[in-house]
Amino acid sequence: MARTKSPKPARAEVAPGEEAPNPVWFKPVMFGFMLLGLAWILVFYISGGAFPVPDLGSWNILIGFGIAFVGFLMTTRWR
């Protein structure tokens, strides 16, 4: 009995000039950065400046905004 080849799964063809869609992990990482930055800032304010890194003091705000900013920069690449 002769075997027939099964059809190959269809791939999404990308037309020239178009960019491929983002990988599956992109959106969770993007939102994760934004939420982590927000959580960093909230923990700093709720703890009265004692956490997350007490030696940094007010620099914790800049770190939180920096982490969130990475997430916002990722939104420019989201398709």
CA distances from 46 to 11, 16, 39, 72 (A): 50, 51, 10, 24
What amino acid is encoded at 24 in this protein? V
Q: What is the pLDDT of residue 48?
A: 87
CB-CB neighbours of 44 under 10 Å: 23
| Rounded mean pLDDT, 9-21 | 71
Paired tokens of 53:
């890194």
DSSP 8-state assignment for residue 22: P
Per-residue pLDDT tens digits for 25-70: 999 999 999 999 999 999 999 988 888 888 888 899 999 999 999 9
Q: What is the pLDDT of residue 64?
A: 95
